[in-house]
Amino acid sequence: MPEVTTEEKATTPDEEFHLPGLSVLRDAVQNAARKVPPRNKLQQDGIAALTTAVSSLPDGMANGLLAGVSPIYGLYACISGPLVGGLFSSTHLMMITATSASAIMAGQTIGSLPAEERGKVFFLLVVLIGVFQVIMGLLKMGRLTRFVSFSVMTGFLTGISVLLVMSQLPTATGYSPEGSNSIIRTFNLFRHINQVHLASVSMAALTILLAIFLQKTPLKKFFALIAIAIPSIIVFFAGLEEVKVVQDVGDITGGFPSLLVPPFSAISIEIITGALAVAIVILIQGAGVSQNVPNKNGTATSTSRDFVAQGAANIACGFFQGLPVGGSLGTTAVNVLARAQTRWSVILSGLAMALIVVVFSGIVAHTAMPSLGAMLILAGTRSIKLSDIASTWNSGWKSWPSLLAGGVTFGATLVLPIPTAVGIGVLLSAFLFITRTSTEISLVELRKREDGKIEEHKPPKTLKGNQVTVLNVYGNLFYAGARTLEHLLPKPGNVQNPVVILRLRGRTHLGATLISVLASYAAMLQDVKGKLYLTGVSDEVYREVKHSYKLRINGPVKAFKVSPELGLSTHNAVVDAEAWLLEDEEEPAAH
């Protein structure tokens, strides 16, 4: 009887990224040098780099304040993060820089320490974050992000985008509303809309109009810089002192960061667990960012390699006095909006920030904050993927768990701390996975037609005596799925000598739950003098079954190993079962 194969498992090449010791940095630099883009692309990357560097100034300093350290450390992170991360990252346009989530978590981790110890331990924490991320990348743990469902990731990224927009409304309007979270502050702002600063709003509106208009002109390559520069020039020459500029947020004249060796003797359990928590949150957020930024040259991205890139960037930040860094949705959106072409836009952004901090800090200090806020609002708005939201919504009400998970994650991202929202998203993804694997199990009976072809039929609820029933199962037989299969298997009833042949072709692991289910089913068949055959059994599954001591091979259970010829093991099992039934019928006649 020809065997009907289950759906072949899609296999993809494992993410290839090796770090042969210290030579990896040399290889990365050589690889980047060999792949210098054409002049027109490099020029556009340089413009995008300058745009992201300028737009990162206020956020970089603000993140330093969020972490409870000097604002200049946020700018140092905007130097080391893109420089190192851009060399290693497989997602060419992803900006690896300081983020509010990582800054807040890092600040919370060292918050319980005495004030005089925080500065010493902070950079040790950043290095450990990087070490954990590199280890997870080398262990190919990027594949674990596949278990974060599309709906959950869509909800999270949409929430981050909305948060980005809401967080910049006070900057763009010149009014600082009160409230415990962004939603309350936004409602507070609209309630007091009459108190916004008209000059600030005008500069923000002018920035957005210029950005939209300039993209349709020959100056489209420079639209972001021009859209920020013109309002800033107006503010400076018109003497609009009430409009905030960058220097009102903090001093950016700190010079180039110097090498600092963290005190590794200060490592403690609290620092280790805190670094691991921050590392995981950064990686999950970075995976979401890279998911939405495909490479323009069509090359595939590797989540594990991006893990290594973010880890290497954090190690560099720890030694050069920077905040923890990761894939930033807002800055990446600005990079894409500025028409970046290659990874050089990221690398050059780090160089541009260094140049700004060391040489041009005086000029940039007069950049209008409403213009920067407006550019981030525009980037956040464009990073909301309406097509992804529609895809989740249009999946239908039968997929209500996906809709619920995406909605809950979106809401949690808006009202809860980012780490908590990420944790909820991961738990919901696990819930979705278990729900799907336990419900999307189907069992069919295979019947041979007169012309030799095989048909699938609905399996019987009860078995027939002295008859062979061939069954094929579709779906993941993870422990919840194994229990679903247990309910789907036809029951022996009061018949005698029923034989069940269950195809397991393509399965490399059964698991304790499925083995227990099969053992119980084999016992039920044995009680009515029946047998259970397992066909298409791989060497791994055969060893697993043999060592379980629950399924007695060549007793009530017989196993036929997989063969290169499709259907051969099942055919052999049918022949063996029919011969056994014939012998069983002849024995009473002989007596």
pLDDT digits (tens, 9 = 90+) for 199-245: 999 999 999 999 899 888 888 777 777 888 899 999 999 989 889 88
Predicted confidence at residue 92, as pLDDT, reads 93
Query: For residue 8, what are the contacts with CB-CB under 8 A and spacing of at least 6?
Result: 506
What span, in angstroms and rounded, lies between the C-alpha atoms of 374 and 222?
16
Question: For residue 330, is pLDDT > 60?
Answer: yes
What span, in angstroms and rounded, lies between the C-alpha atoms of 296 and 41?
12
**In this structure, are strands 454-457 and 96-98 parallel, antiparallel, or unpaired?**
unpaired
Compute the CA torsion angle 368, 369, 373, 376 (nearest 10 deg). 70
Q: How far is CA 226 from the centre of its chain?
A: 34
DSSP 35-57: TPPPHHHHHHHHHHHHHHHHHHH
Domains of the chain: 39-432 (no CATH), 442-590 (3.30.750.24)
Question: For residue 89, is pLDDT > 60?
Answer: yes
Higher per-residue pLDDT: 524 or 285? 524
Q: How far is CA 574 from CA 309, 459, 501, 531, 535, in A?
A: 54, 17, 8, 12, 10
What span, in angstroms and rounded, lies between the C-alpha atoms of 566 and 572?
12
H or E element at residue 537: strand 531-537
Q: How far is CA 396 from CA 241, 390, 393, in A?
A: 54, 11, 7
Handedness of CA 509, 512, 518, 519 (dihedral sign): positive
Grade residue 65 by pLDDT with cuts at 50, 70 and 90: low
Predicted confidence at residue 552, as pLDDT, reads 67
Beta-sheet strand order (sheet of 557-561): 454-457, 442-448, 468-474, 499-503, 531-537, 557-561
Question: For residue 7, is pLDDT > 70?
Answer: no
Give the residue among 196, 224, 230, 173 at the shortest CA–CA distance from 366. Answer: 230
Grade residue 95 by pLDDT with cuts at 50, 70 and 90: very high
H or E element at residue 471: strand 468-474
Predicted confidence at residue 90, as pLDDT, reads 92
Predicted confidence at residue 499, as pLDDT, reads 94
Question: For residue 51, is pLDDT > 80?
Answer: yes
Q: Of 68-77, 168-177, 247-256, where does mean pLDDT reach its minimum?
A: 247-256
* Mean pLDDT value of segment 543-558: 74
Question: For residue 491, is pLDDT > 50?
Answer: yes
What span, in angstroms and rounded, lies between the C-alpha atoms of 201 and 74?
27
